[in-house]
Structure 1
Amino acid sequence: MKLHKLAIAGACLFAGAAHAETLGSVDTAFKLIGPDHKIVVEAYDDPKVDGVTCYISRAKTGGVSGALGLAEDKAEAAIACRQVGPINFKKPLPMQEEVFNERLSILFKKLRIVRIVDKSRNALVYLTYSDKLVDGSPKNNITAVAVDRSQPIPLK
């Protein structure tokens, strides 16, 4: 009974979490054993803004350690967010908020995407970076989506 309740709680926790849709990949280095090293392209829909999708390209380590999920992917990513449909705000947005994160290694490192509202220009700015618990990473990338001035961005 307790296990069943834990499973339901876990499913509810992850039901609202944003997830990446892998669109494609290219091989960058051949590995004799295990998958090749790749650059993966993924799409993330902003969970609070209908009509905005962020496209991320990032390195994915192959080989045996990559296949087993033990490899540490590089802390490098590129981002391009675009309006892909009518923009609709599900609720007011904070001025800055982490909207996605994905683990890049078994320990410590995550790829993060933060949305920042540029109120004076009526734009949504998206920043991607990778962090480590110990070190951090200065590598980052930024993009912006302009919102029509007739539709002010609702703020918390």
Structure 2
Amino acid sequence: MKRVLAAALFSLAATAAQAQQTIGSVSTNFRLLGPNDKVVVQRFDDPRVPNVSCYVSFAQTGGVSGGLGVATNPSQFALNCVAHGPVSIPADLPQRQEVGAISASLLFKHFILSRLVDNQAHTLVYLLISTKVISGSPANAVSAVPASN
């Protein structure tokens, strides 16, 4: 039973790793100790909708705390989703589903990418939010991809 559970978790992690890929980064602030602050660009391929990819850019804190993985990244990000082929909305696609996540701190903050379906406009809407509330409202970005059906 433990082997089956471990295999399932490994398979899930491998699938998530295939759906998310780091494209690159650009340094934005020099740090004498530890890595520089930077903006990172990642691609998320929608696991349920072929031919749709979302590109997310986000600020990543460097320095000693960033190098140790304990820094909290600021809620500064952007989102652009594109179709690189025909897009059709599967009949069994949920109205709202999480597509991916980025850890923005050791425990308490994540950036969550969700897909929403606008059936009237035959459009997929992708929403990126921060789970940590900023001044009473979560930071967010939105992008939409029209479907052919």
Check whether TM > 0.5: yes
Q: Unaligned 5+ residue runs, structure 1?
A: 152-156
Structure 2 length as normaliser, TM-score?
0.87
**Residue identity in the other structure for 1:64:** V
Distance in 2 (alpha carbons) for counterparts of 1:117 and 1:43: 20
Distance in 1 (alpha carbons) for counterparts of 2:136 and 2:14: 29
Cα deviation per residue 1:45-73 (whole Å; 9 max; x = unaligned)?
A: 00000100000010011111111111111
Equivalent residue for 1:70?
70
Matched, 1:100 2:100: yes
Matched, 1:49 2:49: yes
8 A contact 1:130–1:136 mirrored in 2: no
May I ask how many residue pairs the two structures share in their alignment?
A: 147
Shift of 1:21: 1.0
Equivalent residue for 2:13?
14
Shift of 1:15: 3.0
Cα deviation per residue 1:47-105 (whole Å; 9 max; x = unaligned)?
A: 00010000001001111111111111112211000001232556621111111112111
Give the secondary structure class of the aligned counterpart of 1:144.
strand
Q: Unaligned 5+ residue runs, structure 2?
A: none
| Percent of matched pairs sharing the same residue | 45
Shift of 1:12: 2.6
Shift of 1:5: 5.7
Equivalent residue for 1:31?
31
8 A contact 1:50–1:90 mirrored in 2: no
Cα deviation per residue 1:86-143 (whole Å; 9 max; x = unaligned)?
A: 325566211111111121111111110111101110000001011138x875211101
Distance in 2 (alpha carbons) for counterparts of 1:86 and 1:54: 15
**Residue identity in the other structure for 2:15:** G
Cα deviation per residue 1:16-64 (whole Å; 9 max; x = unaligned)?
A: 3354211121111000111100001111000000100000010011111
Cα gap change, 1:5 to 1:121, in 2 (>3 Å): closer
Distance in 2 (alpha carbons) for counterparts of 1:89 and 1:48: 9
8 A contact 1:46–1:52 mirrored in 2: yes
8 A contact 2:103–2:111 mirrored in 1: yes
